[in-house]
A and B are shown apart, each in its own frame.
Chain A
Amino acid sequence: DAKTTQPTSMDCAEGRAANLPCNHSTISGNEYVYWYRQIHSQGPQYIIHGLKNNETNEMASLIITEDRKSSTLILPHATLRDTAVYYCIVKGQTGANNLFFGTGTRLTVIP
């Protein structure tokens, strides 16, 4: 599975959009991009995933570049409850069945 690179930390003002970047330049054609988050003292929470098209659900939007080498998770109106560590994970059909959680991005939403 391809390796991902994320900034260590980011801040976002409450009510503003939070844009979390992820680089995955070695991604291959059959690998999905997944986003999870982990709020302090809780289990990881699935947010969204996509292959090559942009995706949107009730939690967030996922924008994947045309070459698929990077993506951005967008939380349109960040709230204090969105403060968490956000993980970008690339996973394909082959290889290990588990998800590899790297260090992620620690997002702090500021009042």
Chain B
Amino acid sequence: GAGVSQSPSNKVTEKGKDVELRCDPISGHTALYWYRQSLGQGLEFLIYFQGNSAPDKSGLPSDRFSAERTGGSVSTLTIQRTQQEDSAVYLCASSSGGWGGAQYFGPGTRLTVL
């Protein structure tokens, strides 16, 4: 079946502009995660959605970052007033929910802020 998809695959923007990154999770998965990975670095957790519960935003690095998940499916990560340090690969993952389940990752969106 279809895996996690993300769009765009690449995004180049100018410093100070806003960007939106999209994630389509695996159908039926109730949990959705956003991570980012800077060049040569490990994954950094950003935010987690589980069903209708309030999201876990503990990993968001600043108030310029926000995310929403509409209808329990598609999620959008928004970065306002982008900075050069925001350049990274942004990865989305979904799982069937509950602990003990595997997370399935999308291919990521490579964001470059000039």
Binding site for B on A (CB under 8 A): 32, 34, 42-46, 49, 91-93, 96-104
Contacts and interface: CB of A to CB of B under 8 A. Distances in A.
A96 B104 contact: no
B58 A96 contact: yes
B49 to A, nearest CB: 10
Nearest to A104: B42
A45 B103 CA distance: 8
Interface stretch (B63-71, B73-81, B105-113): B105-113
A93 B99 contact: yes
Given A32-B100, A43-B106, A91-B99, A101 B42 contact: yes
Contacts, number: 51
B107 A43 contact: yes
Given A43-B107, A44-B105, A98 B42 contact: no
Given A43-B108, A97-B56, A98-B35, A34 B42 contact: no
B91 A43 contact: yes
B102 interface: yes
Contacts of A32: 100
Given A98-B59, A102-B42, 8 more contacts: A43-B93, A43-B105, A43-B106, A45-B105, A96-B58, A97-B50, A98-B48, A99-B45
Contact of B43 (A44, A45, A46): A44
Contacts of A43: 4, 91, 93, 105-108
Contacts of B91: 43-44
Contacts of A98: 33, 35, 45, 48, 56, 59
28 contacts: A34-B102, A42-B107, A42-B108, A43-B4, A43-B91, A43-B93, A43-B105, A43-B106, A43-B107, A44-B105, A46-B102, A46-B104, A49-B100, A49-B102, A91-B99, A93-B100, A96-B45, A96-B58, A97-B33, A97-B50, A97-B56, A98-B33, A98-B45, A98-B48, A98-B56, A98-B59, A99-B103, A101-B43
